[in-house]
Amino acid sequence: MRTKSAWSDLKRVVLPYWSTPSIGWGWLFFLLALLLAISFINIRISYSERAVFTALEGKDAATYWHNLWLYAAVLLCSVPIVGSFGWVKSKLEMAWRNWLTTHILDRYLANRNFVKVTSDLVDNPDERIQQDVSYFCTEILTISMALLDSFLAFLAFVTILYLISPTLLVVAIVYSAVGTVATLVFGKRLVGLHYDQQRLEAEFRYNLVYLRDNAEAVGLYNAGIREGKGLKARLARLLHNLNSIVSWQRNLTLFKVTYDYSLVIVPALFAAPLYFTGHIELGMMVQAASSFGRIIGALSVVIAQYQTFARLSAITSRLSDFVGVLEEIEQNSDEKGPGRIATKLASNLALDDLTLNTPDGARTLVRNLSFSLKPGSRLIIAGPSGVGKSSLIRAFAGLWTAGTGEIARPDLDDMMVLPQESYMPLGTLRDQFTYPKAGTECGIADSRILAVLKLVNLGELVGNAGGLDATKHWTEILSPGERQRVAFARLMLSSPKLVLLDEATSSLDVTSEAQMYDFVTATGATIVSVAHHKTLIGYHDTVLELVPGGGWRLIPTDVYQQ
Ligand SMILES: Nc1ncnc2c1ncn2[C@@H]1O[C@H](COP(=O)(O)OP(=O)(O)OP(=O)(O)O)[C@@H](O)[C@H]1O
Ligand SMILES: [Mg+2]
């Protein structure tokens, strides 16, 4: 959830990585050492320049050449130091990104939190995990290093400039103060605009991905124009916001360029009179101008980095919001809290006085339901559409927990739910059958997979697809009925104790449907089905009929069929 300040947003995202020892600390020390070395080199360069120009002014060739070679030596020594700074910074960014992405992913995936992160809590979590984390690590390091560099430069050149001209030092401080205040005023709006831009870009991309995922359905409706309207409206909103960014950016840049150009003139205005009256040499005048530039550069870090500040601030609050939502979900994940259905492990499914509500608590779907299933028994849930049949399955599987009473069930690893839409993971054909276990590590021999495929009438699939190692977009290639049969193959390969079938055969012909039920019944698993086809009732021994408003009836199948 939104935290109160930018500071607490920053702490929430930064602290977890840096509060424990890691490789990142090694890279950070390396980076700081390089930064110190670069600051030292800059001071050396300033003095070398001064000596070169003074020798030039005095037409002292020997001193000139001596100092020029010294200058060249300093520049040469600085090559590996300056050159490796960016590389070390990138290594640190990568280490941090790796840790932060894994940390957020672990929390997102734990306890099936990704199901609870709904779009009204957080928009586009995928973009936050992939893009925001990456930008965050890069930009916070860019800014931190710029601030530190500025601080060191200020310390170094403030003394040099003071020794040459205290007036010029005062001018530098006033000059950069004016610049910073003006930039803050100009750029304030940019932070909010960048935040909105991130969201609008992500929404536009999500809509494009959504269209691709549903291409066939949209194609069948011949709704390209209708979809295009939605997409173009999003594009227009995105561009409208971008237009505001560009305008504000233009103002900021106009100011920045004026400010930067004056930098050439202002030190000359103050240092030249000192030179002409003989108070300073040419070398000192050159050094004063470059020191003035360095001090302004240091003090104007806010101006130079304003866009990065604006973007970083937007990204930090997006990441902090996301982490906040995860924290909230973790805190609420205590199954024993009030208004939560209690769960306990048992060898079979048993409900004790279960009342199930929708997650928002707005509706009660089932009231005071109690039953206990014997091993191998088979229950079918019936009732009109929208009454709460799938919701009960969700509650049995532990996804929905709002309500009261208790559910006793086997460990989730001993259960399998087959929904109407079979999920096909990205990966090989083998992965489709061994899911949710990882394809090559699950210890299921290919010969066994092939045997089960024959049972579910998918024997030809392996040959047609190019073998069990073939990788394709399976959701697009397989028909809904084939996907349902893949799910049954999965079920038979994992032999769970409790099977929950939610319209899992809705796309199959009557013969195939009967076949699937015969196979599952033969495994001896306890079965809870949701199905509209009357033909399936005979495969079960009890019917649980749900009535709108939370009512229910438990009836033996033979009585129900009379
Ligand atoms: N995330 C949610 N938040 C609030 N209400 C929801 C949510 N998901 C579903 N519902 C509502 O819960 C009710 C029960 O839905 P459910 O999917 O269990 O119906 P069903 O009996 O399986 O219907 P069908 O036979 O059409 O599949 C519906 O009115 C539905 O709109
Ligand atoms: Mg349903």
Asked whether the predicted pLDDT for residue 140 surpasses 90, the reply is: yes
Residues 6+ away with beta carbon under 8 Å from 498: 348, 349, 409, 410, 414, 415, 416, 525, 526, 527, 528
Asked whether the predicted pLDDT for residue 494 surpasses 80, the reply is: yes
Which ligand 1 atom sits closest to the C-alpha of 532? 25
Q: Which whole-number Å values give the CA distances from 202 to 126, 191, 199, 234, in the listed order?
A: 9, 17, 5, 10
Question: Residue 477 C-alpha to ligand 2 middle, in angstroms?
Answer: 25
Counting Cβ atoms within 10 Å, is residue 220 exposed (0-12), middle (13-18) or buried (19+)?
Answer: exposed
Confidence at residue 268, expressed as pLDDT on a 0 to 100 scale: 84
**What average pLDDT is seen over the chain?**
90
Confidence at residue 185, expressed as pLDDT on a 0 to 100 scale: 77
Lowest mean pLDDT among 28-32, 60-64, 331-335, 429-433: 331-335
Q: Which whole-number Å values give the CA distances from 239 to 123, 200, 232, 245, in the listed order?
A: 19, 9, 10, 9
Confidence at residue 439, expressed as pLDDT on a 0 to 100 scale: 65
Confidence at residue 1, expressed as pLDDT on a 0 to 100 scale: 47
Tokens 């003074």 appear where? 54
Lowest mean pLDDT among 69-73, 212-216, 334-338, 368-372: 334-338
Question: Residue 490 C-alpha to ligand 1 middle, in angstroms?
Answer: 26
The helix (H) or strand (E) run that includes residue 304 is: helix 301-304
Closest-CA residue to 248 (of 302, 196, 193, 198)? 193
Question: Residue 385 C-alpha to ligand 1 middle, in angstroms?
Answer: 8
Residues 6+ away with beta carbon under 8 Å from 447: none
DSSP state at residue 402: B
157, 49 contact by CB (below 8 A): no
Pick from 117, 366, 389, 417 the residue to mutate for probing ligand 1's pocket: most ligand atoms within 8 Å of its CB: 389
Q: Of the ligands numbered here, which is closest to the C-alpha atom of 366?
A: 1
Confidence at residue 124, expressed as pLDDT on a 0 to 100 scale: 87
Q: For the segment 291-332, what is each residue's pLDDT rounded down to a tens digit?
A: 888 888 888 787 778 778 888 988 999 999 999 999 999 987
Nearest CA to ligand 1 atom 8: 358
Nearest CA to ligand 1 atom 7: 358
Region 88-92: mean pLDDT is 97
Nearest CA to ligand 1 atom 29: 386
Which ligand 1 atom sits closest to the C-alpha of 546? 21
Q: Where are the domains of the chain?
A: 6-329, 342-560
Region 396-419: mean pLDDT is 94
Which ligand 1 atom sits closest to the C-alpha of 393? 18
Name the superfamily (CATH) of residues 342-560.
P-loop containing nucleotide triphosphate hydrolases (3.40.50.300)
pTM here? Answer: 0.80
Question: Residue 29 C-alpha to ligand 1 middle, in angstroms?
Answer: 55
Region 544-554: mean pLDDT is 95
User: β-pairing, 427-428 with 471-472?
Assistant: antiparallel
Question: Residue 338 C-alpha to ligand 1 middle, in angstroms?
Answer: 23
Region 112-123: mean pLDDT is 89
Q: What is the pLDDT confidence band of residue 195, given thresholds at 50, 70 and 90?
A: confident
Q: Which residues line ligand 1 (CB under 6 A)?
A: 358-360, 365, 385-391
366, 432 contact by CB (below 8 A): no
Confidence at residue 153, expressed as pLDDT on a 0 to 100 scale: 87
Question: Residue 384 C-alpha to ligand 2 middle, in angstroms?
Answer: 9
Name the residue with higher pLDDT: 105 or 199: 105
Nearest CA to ligand 1 atom 6: 358
CB atoms within 10 A of CB 217: 10
268, 165 contact by CB (below 8 A): no
Pick from 387, 392, 396 the residue to mutate for probing ligand 1's pocket: most ligand atoms within 8 Å of its CB: 387
CATH of 6-329 given 1.20.1560.10, 1.10.10.60, 1.10.260.40, 3.40.50.300 = 1.20.1560.10
Confidence at residue 251, expressed as pLDDT on a 0 to 100 scale: 85
Tokens 């006085």 appear where? 353
Name the residue with higher pLDDT: 334 or 500: 500
Most distant pair of Cα atoms in the chain: their distance? 118
Confidence at residue 387, expressed as pLDDT on a 0 to 100 scale: 95
Asked whether the predicted pLDDT for residue 57 surpasses 50, the reply is: yes
Region 494-505: mean pLDDT is 94
Question: Residue 386 C-alpha to ligand 2 middle, in angstroms?
Answer: 7
Neighbours of ion ligand 2 (CB under 5 A): 390
